[in-house]
Amino acid sequence: MSGETALATDYASGALSKNSEGELERLRLLQEWGDPDTREVLRTAGLDRAARCLEIGAGAGSVARWIADACPDGSVVAVDIDTRYVRDIERPHLQWRTGDVRELDFAPGSFDLIHSRLTFCHLPEREELVARAVRWLRPGGRLVLGDPMCMPAAGSVHAPVRRFFGALEEGWAAQGSDMTRWAQTLPSQLARAGLTGIGVLTRANCLGGTGPYAALAAANIRQEGAYLVRTGLLAQAEVDAVADLCADPGFTDIRSITVYAWGRVPTDGSGARAPEERS
Ligand SMILES: C[S@@+](CC[C@H](N)C(=O)[O-])C[C@H]1O[C@@H](n2cnc3c(N)ncnc32)[C@H](O)[C@@H]1O
Protein backbone atom coordinates (compact mmCIF):
# COMPACT_ATOMS: atom_id res chain seq x y z
CA MET A 1 0.00 0.00 0.00
CA SER A 2 1.39 3.41 -0.90
CA GLY A 3 2.10 6.09 1.69
CA GLU A 4 -0.74 8.18 0.38
CA THR A 5 -3.21 5.32 0.52
CA ALA A 6 -2.13 4.66 4.08
CA LEU A 7 -3.47 8.10 4.95
CA ALA A 8 -6.95 7.38 3.61
CA THR A 9 -8.67 8.39 6.83
CA ASP A 10 -5.84 10.06 8.77
CA TYR A 11 -6.91 12.96 11.00
CA ALA A 12 -3.77 15.04 10.51
CA SER A 13 -3.54 15.02 6.72
CA GLY A 14 -5.96 12.51 5.13
CA ALA A 15 -9.59 12.51 4.05
CA LEU A 16 -10.82 13.38 7.54
CA SER A 17 -8.27 16.10 8.29
CA LYS A 18 -9.58 19.59 8.86
CA ASN A 19 -8.03 20.62 5.53
CA SER A 20 -10.75 18.59 3.81
CA GLU A 21 -13.68 20.50 2.44
CA GLY A 22 -16.76 19.27 4.26
CA GLU A 23 -14.99 18.11 7.45
CA LEU A 24 -16.63 20.72 9.69
CA GLU A 25 -20.07 19.76 8.39
CA ARG A 26 -19.22 16.04 8.83
CA LEU A 27 -18.14 16.60 12.44
CA ARG A 28 -21.35 18.53 13.10
CA LEU A 29 -23.39 15.62 11.74
CA LEU A 30 -21.32 13.30 13.91
CA GLN A 31 -22.18 15.41 16.95
CA GLU A 32 -25.88 15.46 16.07
CA TRP A 33 -25.84 11.67 15.87
CA GLY A 34 -23.56 10.96 18.87
CA ASP A 35 -24.24 13.68 21.44
CA PRO A 36 -27.52 12.32 22.87
CA ASP A 37 -25.86 8.97 23.73
CA THR A 38 -22.67 10.65 24.96
CA ARG A 39 -24.63 12.93 27.28
CA GLU A 40 -26.57 9.99 28.66
CA VAL A 41 -23.35 8.05 29.21
CA LEU A 42 -21.63 11.00 30.92
CA ARG A 43 -24.63 11.59 33.19
CA THR A 44 -24.71 7.88 34.07
CA ALA A 45 -20.96 7.71 34.68
CA GLY A 46 -21.32 10.75 36.94
CA LEU A 47 -20.60 14.45 36.48
CA ASP A 48 -19.90 16.80 39.38
CA ARG A 49 -20.32 20.58 39.12
CA ALA A 50 -16.74 21.05 40.30
CA ALA A 51 -15.12 18.29 38.23
CA ARG A 52 -11.76 18.88 36.55
CA CYS A 53 -12.20 17.33 33.12
CA LEU A 54 -10.11 16.34 30.11
CA GLU A 55 -11.65 15.89 26.64
CA ILE A 56 -9.39 14.03 24.17
CA GLY A 57 -9.99 14.57 20.43
CA ALA A 58 -12.39 17.50 20.78
CA GLY A 59 -13.39 17.64 17.08
CA ALA A 60 -15.92 20.43 16.57
CA GLY A 61 -16.20 20.92 20.32
CA SER A 62 -19.80 20.14 21.31
CA VAL A 63 -18.90 17.61 24.02
CA ALA A 64 -16.24 19.82 25.63
CA ARG A 65 -18.71 22.73 25.61
CA TRP A 66 -21.45 20.56 27.12
CA ILE A 67 -19.15 19.23 29.84
CA ALA A 68 -18.01 22.79 30.63
CA ASP A 69 -21.65 23.85 31.04
CA ALA A 70 -22.37 20.79 33.22
CA CYS A 71 -19.37 21.55 35.46
CA PRO A 72 -19.60 25.31 36.01
CA ASP A 73 -17.47 25.19 39.16
CA GLY A 74 -14.84 22.93 37.61
CA SER A 75 -12.55 23.15 34.60
CA VAL A 76 -12.18 21.53 31.18
CA VAL A 77 -9.02 21.00 29.16
CA ALA A 78 -9.92 19.95 25.59
CA VAL A 79 -7.15 18.58 23.38
CA ASP A 80 -7.14 18.11 19.62
CA ILE A 81 -4.40 17.78 17.08
CA ASP A 82 -6.15 20.60 15.19
CA THR A 83 -8.39 23.03 17.10
CA ARG A 84 -9.39 25.33 14.25
CA TYR A 85 -13.12 24.51 14.56
CA VAL A 86 -13.45 25.33 18.25
CA ARG A 87 -11.80 28.73 18.49
CA ASP A 88 -15.08 30.62 18.86
CA ILE A 89 -16.36 28.40 21.70
CA GLU A 90 -15.47 30.30 24.83
CA ARG A 91 -16.05 29.53 28.49
CA PRO A 92 -13.94 31.01 31.30
CA HIS A 93 -13.10 27.55 32.63
CA LEU A 94 -12.62 25.84 29.23
CA GLN A 95 -9.10 25.67 27.80
CA TRP A 96 -8.40 24.45 24.24
CA ARG A 97 -5.04 22.81 23.69
CA THR A 98 -3.65 22.05 20.25
CA GLY A 99 -1.49 18.96 20.29
CA ASP A 100 -1.09 15.26 19.82
CA VAL A 101 -2.41 13.58 22.95
CA ARG A 102 0.30 10.94 22.59
CA GLU A 103 2.89 13.63 23.25
CA LEU A 104 1.12 15.30 26.18
CA ASP A 105 1.49 14.43 29.81
CA PHE A 106 -0.34 15.52 32.96
CA ALA A 107 0.53 15.08 36.61
CA PRO A 108 -0.99 11.97 38.25
CA GLY A 109 -4.43 12.74 39.71
CA SER A 110 -4.97 15.89 37.59
CA PHE A 111 -8.55 15.06 36.55
CA ASP A 112 -11.90 13.84 37.92
CA LEU A 113 -13.21 12.93 34.47
CA ILE A 114 -11.54 12.02 31.17
CA HIS A 115 -13.70 11.55 28.10
CA SER A 116 -12.92 10.62 24.51
CA ARG A 117 -15.19 9.64 21.62
CA LEU A 118 -14.15 8.09 18.29
CA THR A 119 -10.49 8.98 18.83
CA PHE A 120 -8.72 6.11 20.65
CA CYS A 121 -9.71 3.75 17.80
CA HIS A 122 -7.48 5.82 15.47
CA LEU A 123 -4.39 5.77 17.67
CA PRO A 124 -2.12 2.71 17.40
CA GLU A 125 -1.00 3.41 21.01
CA ARG A 126 -4.59 3.17 22.29
CA GLU A 127 -3.94 0.59 25.04
CA GLU A 128 -1.01 2.53 26.43
CA LEU A 129 -3.12 5.70 26.33
CA VAL A 130 -5.83 4.03 28.47
CA ALA A 131 -3.19 3.27 31.11
CA ARG A 132 -1.83 6.84 30.95
CA ALA A 133 -5.33 8.34 31.18
CA VAL A 134 -6.02 6.25 34.29
CA ARG A 135 -2.85 7.65 35.87
CA TRP A 136 -4.06 11.20 35.14
CA LEU A 137 -7.24 10.53 37.16
CA ARG A 138 -7.57 11.05 40.92
CA PRO A 139 -8.91 8.18 43.08
CA GLY A 140 -12.64 8.05 42.33
CA GLY A 141 -12.11 9.69 38.93
CA ARG A 142 -13.87 8.40 35.82
CA LEU A 143 -12.70 7.42 32.36
CA VAL A 144 -15.40 7.38 29.65
CA LEU A 145 -14.66 6.12 26.12
CA GLY A 146 -16.78 5.59 23.01
CA ASP A 147 -15.53 3.82 19.87
CA PRO A 148 -17.02 2.01 16.87
CA MET A 149 -17.15 -1.70 16.18
CA CYS A 150 -17.62 -1.73 12.40
CA MET A 151 -19.15 -4.77 10.76
CA PRO A 152 -16.70 -6.63 8.50
CA ALA A 153 -17.35 -5.37 4.95
CA ALA A 154 -17.17 -8.92 3.63
CA GLY A 155 -20.19 -9.87 5.75
CA SER A 156 -22.62 -7.61 3.87
CA VAL A 157 -24.88 -9.19 1.25
CA HIS A 158 -24.64 -5.92 -0.75
CA ALA A 159 -21.77 -5.79 -3.26
CA PRO A 160 -21.39 -1.95 -3.19
CA VAL A 161 -21.10 -2.09 0.60
CA ARG A 162 -18.50 -4.86 0.39
CA ARG A 163 -16.43 -2.91 -2.14
CA PHE A 164 -16.56 0.53 -0.51
CA PHE A 165 -16.07 -0.52 3.09
CA GLY A 166 -13.57 -3.19 2.07
CA ALA A 167 -11.37 -0.44 0.55
CA LEU A 168 -11.82 1.65 3.69
CA GLU A 169 -10.78 -1.28 5.88
CA GLU A 170 -7.49 -1.37 3.95
CA GLY A 171 -6.95 2.33 4.63
CA TRP A 172 -7.72 1.96 8.34
CA ALA A 173 -5.45 -1.02 8.78
CA ALA A 174 -2.55 0.71 7.00
CA GLN A 175 -2.64 3.71 9.32
CA GLY A 176 -3.05 1.70 12.53
CA SER A 177 -6.72 2.48 13.20
CA ASP A 178 -8.75 -0.35 14.72
CA MET A 179 -12.37 0.12 13.73
CA THR A 180 -13.42 -3.50 14.19
CA ARG A 181 -11.99 -5.18 17.31
CA TRP A 182 -10.88 -2.44 19.73
CA ALA A 183 -14.37 -1.31 20.79
CA GLN A 184 -15.39 -4.85 21.68
CA THR A 185 -12.55 -4.92 24.22
CA LEU A 186 -13.29 -1.51 25.80
CA PRO A 187 -14.92 -2.77 29.02
CA SER A 188 -12.10 -5.30 29.50
CA GLN A 189 -9.45 -2.66 28.74
CA LEU A 190 -10.89 -0.42 31.45
CA ALA A 191 -11.06 -3.29 33.97
CA ARG A 192 -7.54 -4.34 33.06
CA ALA A 193 -6.32 -0.79 33.73
CA GLY A 194 -7.69 -1.14 37.27
CA LEU A 195 -11.04 0.65 36.94
CA THR A 196 -14.12 -0.62 38.75
CA GLY A 197 -17.88 -0.17 38.34
CA ILE A 198 -17.56 -0.73 34.60
CA GLY A 199 -20.64 0.36 32.64
CA VAL A 200 -21.48 -0.19 28.98
CA LEU A 201 -23.96 1.26 26.49
CA THR A 202 -24.15 0.12 22.87
CA ARG A 203 -25.80 1.70 19.84
CA ALA A 204 -26.36 -0.11 16.54
CA ASN A 205 -25.95 2.10 13.45
CA CYS A 206 -27.64 1.21 10.15
CA LEU A 207 -26.93 2.49 6.65
CA GLY A 208 -30.06 3.67 4.85
CA GLY A 209 -33.06 5.45 6.32
CA THR A 210 -33.23 9.15 7.14
CA GLY A 211 -32.03 9.68 10.73
CA PRO A 212 -28.87 11.41 12.02
CA TYR A 213 -26.73 8.32 11.33
CA ALA A 214 -27.90 8.21 7.71
CA ALA A 215 -26.81 11.84 7.25
CA LEU A 216 -23.44 11.13 8.88
CA ALA A 217 -22.91 8.00 6.79
CA ALA A 218 -23.65 9.94 3.58
CA ALA A 219 -21.07 12.57 4.56
CA ASN A 220 -18.51 9.87 5.43
CA ILE A 221 -19.04 8.18 2.08
CA ARG A 222 -18.68 11.49 0.16
CA GLN A 223 -15.50 12.48 1.91
CA GLU A 224 -13.77 9.13 2.26
CA GLY A 225 -14.98 8.14 -1.21
CA ALA A 226 -13.37 11.17 -2.86
CA TYR A 227 -10.10 10.28 -1.18
CA LEU A 228 -10.27 6.58 -2.08
CA VAL A 229 -10.87 7.56 -5.72
CA ARG A 230 -7.94 10.01 -5.71
CA THR A 231 -5.64 7.35 -4.28
CA GLY A 232 -6.80 4.77 -6.82
CA LEU A 233 -8.33 2.31 -4.35
CA LEU A 234 -11.84 2.72 -5.81
CA ALA A 235 -13.50 3.89 -8.99
CA GLN A 236 -15.95 6.81 -8.76
CA ALA A 237 -18.69 4.44 -9.99
CA GLU A 238 -18.13 2.27 -6.90
CA VAL A 239 -18.51 5.27 -4.60
CA ASP A 240 -21.64 6.35 -6.48
CA ALA A 241 -23.05 2.82 -6.17
CA VAL A 242 -22.80 2.73 -2.37
CA ALA A 243 -24.06 6.34 -2.06
CA ASP A 244 -27.08 5.53 -4.26
CA LEU A 245 -27.80 2.38 -2.28
CA CYS A 246 -27.73 4.27 1.02
CA ALA A 247 -30.09 6.91 -0.43
CA ASP A 248 -32.63 4.21 -1.37
CA PRO A 249 -35.45 4.46 1.21
CA GLY A 250 -35.91 0.68 1.15
CA PHE A 251 -32.27 -0.09 1.96
CA THR A 252 -30.84 -0.99 5.35
CA ASP A 253 -27.63 -2.69 6.45
CA ILE A 254 -25.98 -2.76 9.87
CA ARG A 255 -22.70 -0.82 9.59
CA SER A 256 -21.41 -0.56 13.15
CA ILE A 257 -22.11 -0.80 16.82
CA THR A 258 -20.83 2.08 18.90
CA VAL A 259 -19.57 0.90 22.28
CA TYR A 260 -19.50 3.38 25.16
CA ALA A 261 -17.74 2.15 28.29
CA TRP A 262 -16.82 3.82 31.55
CA GLY A 263 -15.28 3.02 34.92
CA ARG A 264 -13.85 4.57 38.11
CA VAL A 265 -10.47 4.57 39.77
CA PRO A 266 -10.93 2.79 43.13
CA THR A 267 -10.87 5.14 46.12
CA ASP A 268 -9.36 2.64 48.53
CA GLY A 269 -5.96 2.52 46.87
CA SER A 270 -6.51 -1.05 45.64
CA GLY A 271 -5.76 0.46 42.22
CA ALA A 272 -4.69 -1.01 38.99
CA ARG A 273 -4.91 -4.76 39.46
CA ALA A 274 -5.78 -6.57 36.27
CA PRO A 275 -8.46 -9.23 36.65
CA GLU A 276 -7.41 -12.72 35.58
CA GLU A 277 -7.99 -13.34 31.89
CA ARG A 278 -10.11 -16.42 31.32
CA SER A 279 -9.39 -18.91 28.63
C1 LIG B 1 -13.77 11.24 14.70
S2 LIG B 1 -13.19 12.78 15.26
C3 LIG B 1 -14.18 12.82 16.74
C4 LIG B 1 -14.37 14.19 17.29
C5 LIG B 1 -15.12 14.26 18.62
N6 LIG B 1 -14.49 13.43 19.63
C7 LIG B 1 -16.54 13.82 18.44
O8 LIG B 1 -16.85 12.65 18.68
O9 LIG B 1 -17.38 14.68 18.06
C10 LIG B 1 -11.57 12.47 15.94
C11 LIG B 1 -10.92 13.73 16.49
O12 LIG B 1 -9.70 13.34 17.15
C13 LIG B 1 -8.67 14.24 16.77
N14 LIG B 1 -7.40 13.52 16.87
C15 LIG B 1 -6.98 12.50 16.07
N16 LIG B 1 -5.76 12.08 16.45
C17 LIG B 1 -5.42 12.84 17.53
C18 LIG B 1 -4.29 12.89 18.38
N19 LIG B 1 -3.27 12.06 18.17
N20 LIG B 1 -4.26 13.80 19.38
C21 LIG B 1 -5.29 14.66 19.57
N22 LIG B 1 -6.39 14.67 18.80
C23 LIG B 1 -6.47 13.77 17.79
C24 LIG B 1 -9.02 14.63 15.34
O25 LIG B 1 -8.40 15.85 14.96
C26 LIG B 1 -10.53 14.72 15.42
O27 LIG B 1 -10.96 16.02 15.76
Pairing mode, if any, of strands 137-150 and 253-264? antiparallel
Contact indicator for 175, 9 with CB cutoff of 8 Å: yes
**What number does the ligand 1 atom closest to the CA of 31 have?**
9
Please report the pLDDT score of residue 21 as a whole number: 82
Residue 274: how many CB atoms within 10 A of its CB?
Answer: 10
Q: In Å, how far from its chain's centre is CA 210?
A: 22
Please report the pLDDT score of residue 12 as a whole number: 66
The sign of the torsion formed by the CA atoms of 118, 119, 125, 128 equals negative
Report the CATH superfamily, name and number, of domain 3-263.
Vaccinia Virus protein VP39 (3.40.50.150)
**95-103: which pairs have CB atoms within 8 A and are 24 or more residues apart?**
96/58, 96/64, 101/56, 101/57, 101/129, 102/129
Please report the pLDDT score of residue 153 as a whole number: 97
Please report the pLDDT score of residue 273 as a whole number: 47
**Ligand 1 near 59 CB (within 6 A):** yes
**Ligand 1 near 182 CB (within 6 A):** no
Please report the pLDDT score of residue 117 as a whole number: 98
What is the chain's pLDDT, residue by residue, as a tens digit (279 residues)? 333 333 444 666 666 778 888 899 999 999 999 999 999 999 999 999 999 999 999 999 999 999 999 999 999 999 999 999 998 999 999 999 999 999 999 999 999 999 999 999 999 999 999 999 999 999 999 999 999 999 999 999 999 999 999 999 988 888 899 999 999 999 999 999 999 999 999 999 999 988 999 999 999 999 999 989 988 889 999 999 999 999 998 999 999 999 999 999 999 856 544 445 555
Burial class (CB in 10 A: 0-12, 13-18, 19+), 87: exposed
Please report the pLDDT score of residue 256 as a whole number: 98
**Ligand 1 near 123 CB (within 6 A):** yes
